[in-house]
Structure 1
């Protein structure tokens, strides 16, 4: 066994009876071999880093699986060692831990402090096991301890800023105060060495005046409270240089103005004694105005509870006192990861509190089965959120299950409206692909792009859904406006007149509309017939020929020739089936009405089955040059451009739209009745066939009244 690996094992085995000498030695050898030809910026062999990380975690008394993970945490990213190899050699648990640390390492990107809180959330959300975060923190701690080995000043500064913004607060929230303070102090020394030295010199001067300040003040406070029958434990400490600097910056104060360079923690028996103790201290010593915080009645977001007050205490020294119960103190020491987890509408009893490192270490020391405990120590914070990045590093937070469409609208509505695809982690993906934690997402846009109405069913954010619906509605209004304008202009042309808004004011008022645009939209929707508008404006004006003057409108007096009709009888064409030249027909003779021509497959003929005397066998003699009324029922995709394409198809195939009416609509589809002017059944079938080739047409059939 390698001597260094043996030393590691000896340290671990003192608190973890499940540690395996063979497994630790195997991890040591694999890591050392994988990093054999790699060197750090300082020139040291790279293997010194995973070894140091392992020792940091041993000092925290983490289990052997965590130590093995520390030894292997860089091998997947930096060598040809695969996760499959790790799984085969060390099992599923360690493979998952190594994979978790590897993924977190890939999340280290450059961004501003505005994104720091979100990035901390991402670290938490991306970690299924607390030990992944502990390895990551130990990894960062050793990198900061050896940061002088990096020659590039800007790189050193970037790493330190990132550490102060992300990892030190993360350590604080996980309850690892020792790592937090060391990270802060070392980064502060790198970024602001002169300021730090100045604060340290100032602190030294303050305490050189009376080196027993803290013990003397502690004793005086204890005696005073015990005389007043308060059972308590008191401890004092000096704030770190970095915490002092933060307060000086945040509150714009000098060191002499800071009242909490020294802090004293007073632990009492219950909540009532917290307030009693506070009252006694305020009677005995002068309180500094504006320096009282009641975190018992109004706890911090992370659940922290305590009374804080600043006093002119013993020896006329400014001090801060923190008064809490032992339960509150235990919670403050154990820490919480990030925030309380609240479910919407949940009661306080349903909230989940996470006690972390100190509880973990206590269990490791006392439990005979620490692995079982660690196996269930899972992170469940933010499991309803997904954290992803733009190519520039801006972090976008989405609900779990969100896809690239949601992402596009979260970036900006204009991006969503122009989206045509997405690149996720530099690979082309469908725009409806679900986003995972840590994904880098680039939305591909086009000036001709527009949202697909079907996206409404796949996206989950309100912003995306409303953005899609709003865009489609606006495009739909434009289409109806365009169609209504075309239909009305056509009617005007048939009357040899020009359309003027002034002449339409009467119509607008008659229908109770607001303006010309609304009138045109209603015509486009089929709610108002364009012919009725003309009839209203010109009641005495007779209709003139349609667009094609060589063809005639159908009428009972000027129709195509029919074989078998009774001379002198009036001929009508049934509105239920709109019979067309070229299809088989039959006549129904009705007294006082004449002959009604039906298509042979018309459903209305069923009511004449028992009246054969009314049936008249007729057929088309010739088609002639007459236009006939045809009807279509079309189901179109609810997408921009769909209606425009259908009108174009009909026009291209020499059909003429006389009316369009919306029958029904939903998120995905519109159902239209389209009345056409066509020559014969073959003409209608030609139009139907052409429409069925369109990507916008879900279904189209011949219409029946």
Structure 2
């Protein structure tokens, strides 16, 4: 069992006596605060924070982090306020403890919401001090090591949360050793039988292959000795969670996954890394496409190493080559930064900048998301294990998750670039925005003023920043459009009573808004625009009591109509049943929560609902519409060679585009063809239909309206 004396001795290796004594004082304070509290295992509660402090001490973390580790449950579990900790141990330590503490005083609707809110709180604390997450990861690691006494369901829940969030965060921060242990403990908790089976199989295989492993090691040492290259050769174990996922994802057997012998070579300098690479390539043949240079292009979490796979002695040999400093960064990641604070290390500072960039990205995502559950989903997406490296036109390297597209790239450069993106060039060739990028490509984003994100982007973007930015813009756009549409509809309804919105007293507007559970007039207008409130009823409510003007609409007067421009955006949709186009008489029907659907006046769906037509809005087309609209035609014709090409040619000469064509054979001599065209209005459609009628084989042409 860990003791404060053992911790003190460990800390004397890198901390002065004054700081060690501050850590001891934090321990005695925590011990007194947790007096009488026990863990499920029956141990005194103080053993947990002490074990967390030991984990951080193994990472050589500073004294404030260690004090926060010892005190991390004091606010949450003992009722001692943050102010008391601040007075005793300083503001920094109190902030760290508060950042790790859960939000226990708030009632949440579900466990998922509580998890999401607590993670969001911790993210805010991380933005101020990244050490918050280091304390939290050490806390989670010790909890995972001592899961045994907990109930089965709680073990599974904690293990799932660890694998979904905390292990990926450890990976993202470059803390490989901690990440591997969290993954293996989580795997063992979720799949105990599979974990035991794979563990035993690994031990047996290691014993069977001991001779060949030793022979490869000796040959590598001999070759390095011949070249006079310094290098310490270590065996590299595959951890159980990694083996299991490779078996499952690649559909391979255990022996296929384990038919690889892995070694790590630690050397003195970057030059030695490349020289050793040449030496091992001269000993065994490298496999094509399996060499990766993470020294020249480090991973997003700061990891640096040379990776190569060789074929020798009838087996594959994986080798990683790195310096001692890179090895420390690879194992301890961001935690290594505090070790380097006493000296001058470019690697440590670079790693810190990468982490700061990641945390800043989290903060931007948090600002753009509507709730904590959406935020945590974006974060899960962003905690990616694999990266692609692409270049800007000026040669700057950007790291993106595997599967990232040009839209993800645009948002990675700047949110404004992503919002204005309309096209892209990949290696100087125009390319699809949805095409996944490959490492080494040069990507140029083409923007246009006034451009807006396309809702379809949400189907293919992979980074949390891109997804949250697109959703944020679409939500703002939807809000603005719903307010504008609601204002048009309410104005129209008030006009039918002989009133204008500006004439309604402010107090009356506020009363009606409150009655409809809206906090402001804009909120009420948005509800009308979304179809959640009827403009006619709200207009009746707004009329002052005892109004001298008409209480009922004036049926003799032409009803005020709302003008449709065809570019209304997210809240005005054209019905797919009747496909109205400019020139058709149209009405709008409100669809609760989704805005307005525009139908032709003669549409069967509109006629069926005529009795309650208060939800119908009389509409007019604007005169300057330039957009194209879908319309469906049915063409019956005699079967002749080349008639489809002739039909397409007629549509092209009519300045229309074919969106879809469907041929239904009627009999041996006749065919029926359904065409979906893009036209600008009824006049344009009439021109196209005249051209189609001129085709000799055409016997009839009709527009399909339902």
Task: Give the TM-score, by structure 1 length.
Answer: 0.50
Larger of the two Rg values belongs to structure:
1
